[in-house]
Structures are given as C-alpha cells and as structure tokens.
C-alpha cells in the first residue's frame, strides 16, 4: 500500500529551530566514551556514587504498595509529598517556601526550557554570566533572546555591573555554587548585592543550583531564594546527589510564575513520571541524603585535590586555574594565543579529552579557556591525563 514516487519534503524549520545545534559537549562526549581515552570532558556524576541497592529497594517498595497509583497519570505540578519535602528542605527561619511554589520537572534542564518559553520574548534581553552554563544558553536560545553577558571575576558575577546593562531584560540567570563551567562560588556579599539589585529593578533572578550540596568543606552558602522568595526562581535537581538517569528536578518560585510554568509543563509533557517521583520520595524521606551526600563530597574533594596537585606539578608557567570549594569542575586559563578547540584535537590524538571553554560564552568567547572534570576519572588516571595535557600545552608556549 506504499505510494509511488512521493515528492520529497523540502524540510522548512521554524526560525527558532534553525539555530539549534547539537551540544558541542555531547558531541565530544560521544568521541570520548571510548574506554582508552582519559576523559576530563564529562559533566556526568561518578556512577560510584549511585545508590543502586537503595533505589532498587525504593522501586520495589513503591510498586509493591502503590503500584497502580505510581503507574497511572499524575498531576502536572508533581507528586504532593515530594513537593512538600522540597518546600520544607528549602524553608529557613523568616523565609518559608510552600509546596504550591514547587513544580516538579524532568531534570532541571526542563526548568530552563519552561522558563525560556514563559519569560523570553523574541529579541528581549537575557542576562547571563561570563561564561555561563551551556545547557541554559541552548535552552534559552530557542526563544531567540539577545544574550547580554554580565562580567565576572574569580569570585563570580559582579553585581555592580548589572544596573548598566539590565534595562528591558526579562531575567538574569546565575549559577552561584561551584559554577558550571568555572567551578567558582559567589560570595555571600555578592549574593546579597545581586538579590538587592534584581529586587530593586523588579528583574526575575534565576538561581540554578545543581551542585549546591556538593560542598567540600562545611555547609553551602545561603541561597539567594531565601533572601527574596518573591523575586528569585530557584532550580534544584536530584541528578548530582542521587542519580541523573531518572531525570528529576524542580523549580521553585513565586506562585504566579509557577502556575504559568505548570501550564507550560502540561502542554510540554503533561507531567513528570509519577513512579519516579514516588520512588525518589520513598528513597529520601527518612534522611537518606544526609547520610549519602557526605560520601559524594569526600570522593569528589579527593579527586579534585589529586587534579589540583597534578596541575601544580605538571602545568607550565602561564597556565592558571581555580581551586573549587565544591562541585565537579576546574576552570583552566591558558596564555591568550592558545586555541583550546585546536588543543582538543591534539589531546584526543594523545587519548586525553576536556571541554573547550568557548561554547560557554554567550558573546565573545575566550578561546584560551577549558573545563576539566575530575569526578569520573580514577586518581592515577587523573595524574596521567594532566601530565599529557600539560606537555601538549607546554609545546605551545
């Protein structure tokens, strides 16, 4: 019943889709999945940290006791007990978050898409850090904003730079804890100053916090959400503290925005897996994360130190890097004349990989930067990889 000689379709994509590209990082990841490559390119958490048995028990428990509910369609805003748990975990004295301020999403990447869909008008200004998280730039770019890069230094975004560039902006997007890609942490003083500036301007401030719990020393710094619950939109995720493969995150904010995001969520995919939400609630409700997260912190802190030591030992003069206080990444700046895209080709030939920094810049890429992840590479391989990379860099200086 196949028809004969159909006219081939001349695919005409919408303008918003024309600029979509596959993430440079995911393309690099495909190459560097080969087991013979020492890859610092990943943004993936270490599978060592996945609590497989605990998750298996939670699935078994939920399916045994509430199988037919877990396997049925669920509400668009998410599973109520989990939303309550999240609201409680974010509330502090003087700043209470309520469950109706929480929307469950399919990984926090989806929160970025929904926020872009609901807030970004074509050609409107969107303020992002220099550099910024690539996934956010990708998600927002579909809605065709004009990205404005907010200046940063080693301590993160410079709040005093915002007033001069924010007129007409629809939102400011920041990642204050153990930033991706730079590993930087924004100081408390700057957080207060940024929240005050955005609040004074009535500018929605997005606080993306996938790594906040992964502090190597002591508790994380205060969340900007708690400094102004009526103006900050907070994004959280279970990807880095539990497991990413289940795709579960959340967005928290003022209710008029959350209700609009809920409508967008409904149109986008009805709701996030009911089973996944019930299982995660089952897995964490009795305090599991408080036991589990310290083991992730210790693993990552140790591997970070191995990489810092290796950089100190092998990196040639002229190479700079930061010392992260948590998270998964070290940011390396090479002498200006070195193009890290080119360096990557040579590195892959030597069986080492990293992510060039350029794609993380919304405007004017600094091509002499690169991101290193230490979390999925065993210590001896970290030393070997950094040593190889250092030789390649030294040959260019």
Q: Say how far apart CA 329 and CA 72 lie, in whole Å.
A: 39
Kindly tell me which residue out of 104, 186, 227, 375 binds its own copies, with binding defined by CB under 8 A: 227
17 binding its own copies? (CB under 8 A) = yes
> Considering the complex, what minimum distance in angstroms separates the CB of residue 312 from its own copies?
31
Q: How far apart are the first and last CA of the chain?
A: 66
> Considering the complex, what minimum distance in angstroms separates the CB of residue 354 from its own copies?
18
- Taking a C-beta distance cutoff of 8 angstroms, is the pair 196, 344 a contact? no
14 binding its own copies? (CB under 8 A) = yes
Peptide bond connecting 131 to the previous residue in cis, omega within 30 degrees of 0: yes
Q: Say how far apart CA 359 and CA 336 lie, in whole Å.
A: 16
Q: Taking the CB of residue 119, how many other CB atoms lie within 10 A of it? A: 20
Q: Which two tokens stand for residue 28?
A: 């690099």
Point out which span in 257-265, 286-294, 310-318, 351-359 binds its own copies (CB under 8 A): 257-265
Q: Say how far apart CA 213 and CA 198 lie, in whole Å.
A: 25
195 binding its own copies? (CB under 8 A) = yes
362 binding its own copies? (CB under 8 A) = no
237 binding its own copies? (CB under 8 A) = no
**Kind plus residue range of the DSSP H or E element containing 170:** strand 169-174
**Is 120 or 393 the residue whose CB approaches its own copies more closely?**
120
**Is 280 or 386 the residue whose CB approaches its own copies more closely?**
280
What Å distances lie between residue 288 and 203, 241, 396, CA to CA?
36, 11, 49
**Is 260 or 381 the residue whose CB approaches its own copies more closely?**
260
Q: Say how far apart CA 272 and CA 265 lie, in whole Å.
A: 9
200 binding its own copies? (CB under 8 A) = yes
- Taking a C-beta distance cutoff of 8 angstroms, is the pair 173, 141 a contact? no
Which of the residues 270 through 289 are near its own copies (CB under 8 A)? 270-276
Which of the residues 64 through 83 are near its own copies (CB under 8 A)? 64, 67-74, 76
20 binding its own copies? (CB under 8 A) = yes
2 binding its own copies? (CB under 8 A) = yes
CA 94 to chain centre: 28
182 binding its own copies? (CB under 8 A) = no
Q: Which two tokens stand for residue 347?
A: 């590195």
94 binding its own copies? (CB under 8 A) = yes
Kindly tell me which residue out of 32, 39, 101, 109 binds its own copies, with binding defined by CB under 8 A: 109
177 binding its own copies? (CB under 8 A) = no
> Considering the complex, what minimum distance in angstroms separates the CB of residue 105 from its own copies?
8
Binding-residue total with its own copies (CB under 8 A): 100
Kindly tell me which residue out of 21, 187, 295, 298 binds its own copies, with binding defined by CB under 8 A: 21
Tokens 């974010």, located at residue: 90
Q: Say how far apart CA 168 and CA 125 lie, in whole Å.
A: 6
């Amino acid at each position: 019943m196949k028809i004969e000689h159909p006219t081939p379709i001349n695919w005409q994509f919408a303008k918003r889709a024309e600029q979509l590209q596959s993430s440079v990082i995911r393309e690099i990841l495909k190459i560097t999945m080969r087991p013979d490559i020492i890859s610092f390119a990943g943004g993936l958490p270490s599978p060592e940290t996945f609590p497989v048995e605990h998750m298996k028990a939670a699935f078994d428990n939920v399916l045994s006791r509430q199988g037919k509910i877990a396997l049925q369609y669920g509400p668009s805003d998410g599973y109520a007990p989990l939303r309550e748990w999240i609201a409680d975990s974010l509330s502090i004295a003087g700043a209470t978050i309520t469950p109706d301020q929480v929307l469950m999403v399919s990984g926090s990447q989806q929160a970025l898409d929904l926020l872009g869909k609901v807030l970004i008008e074509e050609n409107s200004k969107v303020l992002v850090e220099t550099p910024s998280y690539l996934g956010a730039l990708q998600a927002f770019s579909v809605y065709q904003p004009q990205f404005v890069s907010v200046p940063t230094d080693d301590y993160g975004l410079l709040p005093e730079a915002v007033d001069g560039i924010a007129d007409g902006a629809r939102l400011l997007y920041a990642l204050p804890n153990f930033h991706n890609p730079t590993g930087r942490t924004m100081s408390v003083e700057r957080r207060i100053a940024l929240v005050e500036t955005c609040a004074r301007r009535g500018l929605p401030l997005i606080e993306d916090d996938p790594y906040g719990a992964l502090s190597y020393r002591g508790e994380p710094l205060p969340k900007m959400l708690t400094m102004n619950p009526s103006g900050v939109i907070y994004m959280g995720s279970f990807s880095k503290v539990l497991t990413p493969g289940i795709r579960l995150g959340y967005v928290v904010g003022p209710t008029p925005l959350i209700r609009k995001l809920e409508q967008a969520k409904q149109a986008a995919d009805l709701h996030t897996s009911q089973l996944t939400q019930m299982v995660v609630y089952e897995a964490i409700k009795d305090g599991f994360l408080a036991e589990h997260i310290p083991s992730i912190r210790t693993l990552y802190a140790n591997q970070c130190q191995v990489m810092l030591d290796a950089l100190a030992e092998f990196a040639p003069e002229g190479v700079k890097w930061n010392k992260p206080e948590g998270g998964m990444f070290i940011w390396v700046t090479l002498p200006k004349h070195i193009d890290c895209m080119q360096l990557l080709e040579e590195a892959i030939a030597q069986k080492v990989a990293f992510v060039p920094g350029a794609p993380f810049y919304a405007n004017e890429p600094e091509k002499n930067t690169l991101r290193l992840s230490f979390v999925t590479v065993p210590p001896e391989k970290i030393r070997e990889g950094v040593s190889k990379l250092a030789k390649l860099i030294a040959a260019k200086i």
